[in-house]
Amino acid sequence: GENVGLHLPTLSVQEGDNSIINCAYSNSASDYFIWYKQESGKGPQFIIDIRSNMDKRQGQRVTVLLNKTVKHLSLQIAATQPGDSAVYFCAENKAPGNKLVFGAGTILRVKS
Amino acid sequence: DTGVSQNPRHKITKRGQNVTFRCDPISEHNRLYWYRQTLGQGPEFLTYFQNEAQLEKSRLLSDRFSAERPKGSFSTLEIQRTEQGDSAMYLCASKGGGGAANEQFFGPGTRLTVL
């Protein structure tokens, strides 16, 4: 079957440090991935996306890396802030319909 | 606030009762999605609409579940004869046209507890 999953369920980082959240996928045909952030009591919020024709994409304080050889992607958050504390999901955007297939999530805790 | 609203935010019901949830998407979005999320897991796709047409239903959507989007605007998700296993967060998301590049905007969800 097709799975999108995460290596680490919980990540604790010191405020100001960089965070790296990892995700593995199994379907080599997957071609569009999105990272979502979910705070307590809220729905998931789009962070950044990447297509398979790219290896890296940068946003504001965030970078997504895609390694198609080992079917792995990561989300890097620079200078992590307390407001970054949340659950982070990688998701595959699948056709038809652009439905999202989510992994299980990583909890990011930022210590002040 | 993403612009997607869901009501109610919380619902507690007894096993066997019927429940209905409502989602109001961003007004110009033609696609509307329903997902279910259990504790510690990522959301799981249930179904989606393009305008008023329901184009796909997941295997998770048993016969007790029905979703509608009668005028291509708001949508309802009904669960009949609820079971304890139905307890979850039900999330709605909407998306504009233009292919996969447009993100899905999620509502805050309806948390269902079946006693």
Q: Where are the alpha helices (DSSP H) in chain A?
A: none
Note whether B4 contacts A43, CB cutoff 8 Å: yes
Neighbours of A53 (CB within 10 A): 9
Given a cut of 90, whether residue B97 has pLDDT beyond it is no
Note whether A43 contacts B109, CB cutoff 8 Å: yes
B95 vs A contacts (CB less than 8 Å): 98
Note whether B42 contacts A91, CB cutoff 8 Å: yes
At residue B102, the pLDDT reads 65
A53 vs B contacts (CB less than 8 Å): none
**A1 three-state secondary structure:** coil
The alpha-carbon gap from B107 to the nearest alpha carbon of chain A, in Å, equals 6
Q: What is the pLDDT of residues B59-93, one digit of tens each?
A: 988 999 999 999 889 999 999 999 999 999 999 99
**Which residues are CB-neighbours of B104 under 8 A, at least 6 positions away?**
A46, A98, A100, B31, B33, B93, B94, B95
A&B contacts, CB < 8 Å = 62
3-state secondary structure A18-47: CEEEEEEECCCCCCEEEEEEECCCCCCEEE
Mean pLDDT, residues A47-55 taken together: 95
Q: What percent of chain A has pLDDT over 90?
A: 79
A57 vs B contacts (CB less than 8 Å): none
Note whether B56 contacts A42, CB cutoff 8 Å: no
At residue B19, the pLDDT reads 98
Mean pLDDT, residues A33-57 taken together: 95
Q: What is the pLDDT of residues A77-101, one digit of tens each?
A: 999 999 999 999 999 999 888 999 9
Determine the Cα–Cα distance for residues B65 and B82; give it in Å rounded to an integer. 9
Mean pLDDT, residues A19-48 taken together: 93
Given a cut of 80, whether residue B1 has pLDDT beyond it is yes
Using an 8 Å CB-CB cutoff, list residues of chain A that contact chain B. Answer: 32, 34, 41-46, 49, 89, 91, 93, 95-105
Q: What is the CA radius of gyration of chain A?
A: 13
Given a cut of 70, whether residue B28 has pLDDT beyond it is yes
Confidence of residue A12 (pLDDT cuts 50, 70, 90): very high
Which of A94-98, A107-111, B60-64, B96-100 is least confident? B96-100
Torsion angle of alpha carbons B61, B63, B65, B66, nearest 10°? 100
Tokens 């056709």 locate to A95
Mean pLDDT, residues A14-27 taken together: 95
Given a cut of 70, whether residue A72 has pLDDT beyond it is yes
Q: Which of B20, B43, B55, B47 is nearest to B91 (CA)?
A: B43
Using an 8 Å CB-CB cutoff, list residues of chain B that contact chain A. Answer: 2, 4, 31, 33, 35, 40-45, 48, 50, 55-56, 91, 93, 95, 99-100, 103-109
